[in-house]
């Protein structure tokens, strides 16, 4: 069980990240912790793992959690055994077997005589057969590092497991092993992930926001359905409030005009009746005061409704506020863009594909490149972009405009400000205020315009890149997406999904995110062997 009461956390600069958080995770519960980037999900996991201190509040856990971080760079100098925190125990076992059965070694081993076998079995289960426990972590790929820490679960056999983006860097096969573990796990689980296939295997969704933690008693699809209902209710309330504001303005105008007519009619009657000037002035002053009171009452009512309307608009999810205007490719459907005949490539005098590749890509198609990590997907992309030439066979490309979007969004120039980045894509047809209107449309308000691009999050870079592409006069004929969802939270994945679905050109995607591939309507696959 995990209990969090009145939890507050402040950054070292004393900025408050969250306060007064309350959370209960019961024994054997499987919980997803989701929320927009920057809201504090990873920080909360570190707090629960005992890696960060609370400013205020209380944490209770039944036992010490096993924690897997999202970033592994801090372990590069460690061996695999050290990263898994079993090096001392393995050392003690070897020394005991060598005849050094002293108190120190026996205490370190703690009767865990099967530790070595358990490490080997765990690594083999995650397809890390042959990986030496003495090997340095810096020699491993991102996917291997992730699997090392996942193997640690069955090595340590904890009651509570905290996982931060556990499917990051994993290929399709490794993800299937992870999904199988999640389904069968008896541990108490809490994980942060944007992998919606994974999130659908969990029994509850805890949404962390600036308002605290909201609990949804179901998997991700249940959560998404509930959020849709909430969003539709919010949109309806927004529409009703906009109507109320229009009506209030019309009523104020009608009332004021009617009062002014009454005042004018009354003045004429008074003039005909020969009312003395002093009395006329008094009556006029009273009429003006009455009109002013009526006007003030209506202004107050309009202001109140306008404030409510502003609050409702601020509560809208970013995806509902953003307007995407993607131009389409001018190429006719079916035009052949890429033809590959018997192509192959080699590294260190070794061909990377067992069988040469043969395929065509036609205008308007939506294709995914499939293959395990290391199967040559990036190499093939470089051939399609004419950055590499095959060592055998031929690849022919039509003269088309292709945009390559990698997971680091390298199209963004970190030396530029947000406005300068957008302006760089302007073909000269948009004025400064029009570029800023486009930036606003992609949720970059005035406060962002002078912000350096290097300070943006992954999701912000993705939105700025999309904004830049819509500013560009010439729409790309083909877009290549290379693991585009790796560094995005769920909200920004949905924004990217909407943008991709509005684009009607040719799409080539590398992704292990099957949920995303389904949502963007991939039609066929080019499969690479390893």
Q: Is the pLDDT of residue 426 over 80?
A: yes
Q: Would you say the CATH fold of 335-527 matches that of 2-226?
A: yes
- Edge-first strand listing for the sheet containing 16-25: 16-25, 2-10, 56-61
Minimal CA–CA distance to 44: which of 179, 151, 192? Answer: 192
In the prediction, which pLDDT does 316 show? 56
Please state, in angstroms and rounded to a whole number, the distance separating the CA atoms of residues 263 and 269.
Answer: 10
pLDDT bucket at 150, cuts 50 / 70 / 90: very high
In the prediction, which pLDDT does 476 show? 83
Q: Is the pLDDT of residue 288 over 70?
A: no
In the prediction, which pLDDT does 359 show? 93
In the prediction, which pLDDT does 14 show? 80
C-alpha distances out from residue 490 to 33, 347, 440, 482, Å: 11, 37, 21, 17
Residue with the bigger pLDDT between 268 and 244: it is: 244
CATH topology assigned to domain 335-527: Rossmann fold (3.40.50)
Q: Is the pLDDT of residue 285 over 80?
A: no
- Edge-first strand listing for the sheet containing 357-362: 357-362, 336-344, 392-397
Report strand pairing: 366-370 vs 524-527.
parallel
Q: Is the pLDDT of residue 197 over 60?
A: yes
Identify whether the C-beta of residue 153 lies closer than 8 Å to the C-beta of residue 66.
yes
Please state, in angstroms and rounded to a whole number, the distance separating the CA atoms of residues 240 and 230.
Answer: 15
Please state, in angstroms and rounded to a whole number, the distance separating the CA atoms of residues 379 and 507.
Answer: 18
Please state, in angstroms and rounded to a whole number, the distance separating the CA atoms of residues 256 and 290.
Answer: 10
Q: What is the pLDDT of residues 241-257, one digit of tens each?
A: 778 777 877 777 777 77
506 beta partners: 478
Q: Give residue for tokens 């909407």.
A: 498
State the pTM of this model.
0.72
Q: What residues does each domain of the chain span?
A: 2-226, 228-315, 335-527
CATH topology assigned to domain 2-226: Rossmann fold (3.40.50)
In the prediction, which pLDDT does 294 show? 66
Which has the minimum average pLDDT: 135-139, 143-147, 282-286, 346-350? 282-286
Identify whether the C-beta of residue 182 lies closer than 8 Å to the C-beta of residue 202.
yes
Identify whether the C-beta of residue 403 lies closer than 8 Å to the C-beta of residue 509.
no
Q: What is the pLDDT of residues 70-100, one digit of tens each?
A: 888 888 899 999 999 999 999 999 999 999 8
In the prediction, which pLDDT does 281 show? 61
Which has the minimum average pLDDT: 157-161, 426-430, 501-505, 522-526? 426-430
User: What's the whole-number average pLDDT of the chain?
Assistant: 85
Q: Which helix (H) or strand (E) holds 278?
A: helix 277-315
In the prediction, which pLDDT does 417 show? 94
- Compute CA 19 distance to the chain's CA centroid, rounded to the nearest angstrom: 23
Q: What is the pLDDT of residues 321-378, one digit of tens each?
A: 555 566 666 677 788 999 999 999 998 888 989 899 999 999 999 999 998 888 889 8
Dihedral, 402, 403, 407, 412 alpha carbons, nearest 10: 150
Mean pLDDT over residues 468-473, rounded? 81
Mean pLDDT over residues 380-390, rounded? 92
Vertex 167 angle, CA 157 and 483, to 5°:
165
Identify whether the C-beta of residue 223 lies closer than 8 Å to the C-beta of residue 203.
no
In the prediction, which pLDDT does 438 show? 85
Residue 204 makes CB contacts below 8 A (sequence gap 6+) with: 29, 30, 31, 32, 215, 216, 217, 218
C-alpha distances out from residue 441 to 31, 192, 428, Å: 34, 29, 19
């Amino acid at each position: 069980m995990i209990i969090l009461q009145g939890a507050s956390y402040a950054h070292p600069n004393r900025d408050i990240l969250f306060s007064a958080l309350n959370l209960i995770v019961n024994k054997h519960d499987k919980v997803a912790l989701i929320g927009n980037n920057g809201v504090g999900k990873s920080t909360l996991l570190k707090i629960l793992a005992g890696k960060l201190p609370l400013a205020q509040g209380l944490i209770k856990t039944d036992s010490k959690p096993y924690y897997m971080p999202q970033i592994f760079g801090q372990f590069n100098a460690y061996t695999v055994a050290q990263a898994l925190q079993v090096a001392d125990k393995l050392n003690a076992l070897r020394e005991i077997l060598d005849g050094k059965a002293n108190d120190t070694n026996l205490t370190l081993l703690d009767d865990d005589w099967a530790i070595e076998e358990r490490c080997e079995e765990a690594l083999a289960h995650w397809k890390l057969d042959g990986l030496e426990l003495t090997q340095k972590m810096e020699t491993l790929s991102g996917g291997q590092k992730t699997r090392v820490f996942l193997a640690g679960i069955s090595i340590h056999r904890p009651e509570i497991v905290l996982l931060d983006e556990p499917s990051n860097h994993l290929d399709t096969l490794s993800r299937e092993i992870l999904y199988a573990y999640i389904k069968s796990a008896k541990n108490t689980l809490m994980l942060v992930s944007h992998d919606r296939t994974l999130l659908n295997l969990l029994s509850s969704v805890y949404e962390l926001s600036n308002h605290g933690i909201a609990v949804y008693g179901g998997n991700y699809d249940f959560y998404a359905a509930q959020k849709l209902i909430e969003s539709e209710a919010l949109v309806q309330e927004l529409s009703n409030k906009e109507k109320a504001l229009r009506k209030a303005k019309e009523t104020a105008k009608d009332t004021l005009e009617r009062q002014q007519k009454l005042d004018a009619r009354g003045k004429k009657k008074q003039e005909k009746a020969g009312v003395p000037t002093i009395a006329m002035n008094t009556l006029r002053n009273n009429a003006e005061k009455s009109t002013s009171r009526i006007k003030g009452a209506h202004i107050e009512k309009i202001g109140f409704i306008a404030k409510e309307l502003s609050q409702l608009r601020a509560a809208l999810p970013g995806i509902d506020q953003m307007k995407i205007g993607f131009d389409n490719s001018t190429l006719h459907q079916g035009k052949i863009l890429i033809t590959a005949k018997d192509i192959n490539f080699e590294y260190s005098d070794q061909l990377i594909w067992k069988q040469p590749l043969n395929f065509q890509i036609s205008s308007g198609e939506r294709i995914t490149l499939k293959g395990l990590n290391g199967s040559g997907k990036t190499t093939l992309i470089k051939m399609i972009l004419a950055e590499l030439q095959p060592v055998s066979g031929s690849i022919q490309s039509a003269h088309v405009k292709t945009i390559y979007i990698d997971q680091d969004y390298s199209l963004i120039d970190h030396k530029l400000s947000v406005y300068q980045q957008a302006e760089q894509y302007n073909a000269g047809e948009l004025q400064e205020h029009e570029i800023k209107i486009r930036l606003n449309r992609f949720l970059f308000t005035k406060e962002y315009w002078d912000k350096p691009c290097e300070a943006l999050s992954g999701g912000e870079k993705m939105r700025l890149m999309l904004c830049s592409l819509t500013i560009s006069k010439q729409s790309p004929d083909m877009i290549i997406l290379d693991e585009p969802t790796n560094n995005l939270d769920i909200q920004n994945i949905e924004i990217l999904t909407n943008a991709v679905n509005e684009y009607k050109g040719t799409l080539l995607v590398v992704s292990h995110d099957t949920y995303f591939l389904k949502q963007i309507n991939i039609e066929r696959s080019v499969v690479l062997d390893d």
